[in-house]
Amino acid sequence: MFVRDCSAPDDCSSQGCRQLSRHSTKTSVGQSDPFAASSGGYERKDSLSIVRPNGTVLAAIPVYIRTICSGRTSMQSTLMFHGIGIPGHPMEPGEENYWINWDQFDAIVDYCAKLPPDEVNFTFDDGNQSDLEAARRMRAQGVDGSFFVLVGRLGAPGYLTEAEVGELLDLGMEVGLHGRNHIDWRKADDATLNSEIDRAAEELGELCGRPVEAVAIPYGHYDRRVWTYLERSPFRRIHTSDRGRSRPVDRFVRREPVMRWHDIADVVELIAGKASPAKRLRQAVMPRLKRLA
């Protein structure tokens, strides 16, 4: 009698997974669903079966268990930046809280450059023109990043131009999609979603000369309909603004926003995922006025 693990990732065998057999399953690594109950870093192995010597199944027990494949469960932090320095365009209400200064940014890059590879990911939303200088400073330190641009704002004052998107790629950075016009996708009809997501991704892919593999949801707003729409899209990674950490194999990626009142100690806590819930809330929504004077 042995235990059969049927929902291991496809490449488990190459990583020494001691899986004995597998068959189809509705749950797989990298297909995490934000509407499903959190498994706290564990995966549901819904085909864990106890098998008789003659091959018949004695029992199939739904359980949650950590994958035994090396490297599949390590949690990563993904930082979410917006603009750095002085905005070159009028800001949306509240957007100023998402802009940090270059000293803050340099301190974060310096810290993260010393961490083990893949422990923290850098992402940038909106395609602000400061992205290019940020990318140059990151490249100088050997740090990679993903830059989610708005196709409809390329070339507008304060935003990246198409040529600058090419420079990001030349620096070895990933360019992903943030939509076309920065709207709330929950309020968009299907035709608008098609323009904001599918058509915009095609146009960005043509500009970049490669398929767009990652998307970041504007404002982090999604509902079941938007999620289903994205789930059926070819994007390999879907970045939200839901806070927390994710695994490298997760298609649904949580992010920690870096705010204007964060100092390097705050960011270190965000990366480590060690801040208490109360402190995380305070870090997210409450400016530290004494530091803003």
Rule CB under 5 A: is residue 125 a binding residue for Zn ion?
yes
Decide whether 126 or 131 has the Cβ nearer to Zn ion.
126
* Residue 131 binds Zn ion (CB under 5 A): no
Footprint of Zn ion on residues 205-224 (CB under 5 A)? 218
- CA 238/CA 281 separation, integer angstroms: 23
Q: How many residues bind Zn ion (CB under 5 A)?
A: 3
239/280 with CB nearer Zn ion: 239
Distance of alpha carbon 150 from alpha carbon 120, whole angstroms: 24
Nearer to Zn ion, 9 or 127 (CB): 127
Should residue 43 be labelled a site residue for Zn ion when binding is judged by CB under 5 A?
no
Q: How many CA atoms lie within 13 A of 289 on its CB side?
A: 0
Least distance in angstroms from the C-beta of 278 to Zn ion: 27
Give residue number: closest CB to Zn ion. Answer: 125
Asked whether 127 and 149 are in contact (CB, 8 A), the reply is yes
Pick 43 or 126: Cβ nearer Zn ion: 126
Measured distance CA(161)–CA(124) in Å, rounded: 15
| Least spacing, CB of residue 219 vs Zn ion, in Å | 6
Asked if 5 is part of the footprint of Zn ion (rule: CB under 5 A), the reply reads no
Sign of CA dihedral 184, 186, 189, 191: positive
Q: Provide φ and ψ at 228, rounded to 5°.
A: -60, -40
Write down the least CB distance from residue 78 to Zn ion, Å. Answer: 15
- Contact flag: residue 126 with Zn ion (CB under 5 A): yes
Pick the stretch among 97-105, 120-128, 166-174, 247-255 that binds Zn ion (CB under 5 A): 120-128
Q: Least separation, in Å, of the C-beta of 267 and Zn ion?
A: 20
The smaller minimum CB distance to Zn ion, of residues 45 and 262, is found at: 262
Task: Determine the Cα–Cα distance for residues 49 and 26; give it in Å rounded to an integer.
Answer: 15
Which is nearer to Zn ion, 72 or 82 (by Cβ)? 82
Q: How far is the CB of 217 from Zn ion (least distance, A)?
A: 9
Q: What residue ranges bind Zn ion (CB under 5 A)?
A: 125-126, 218
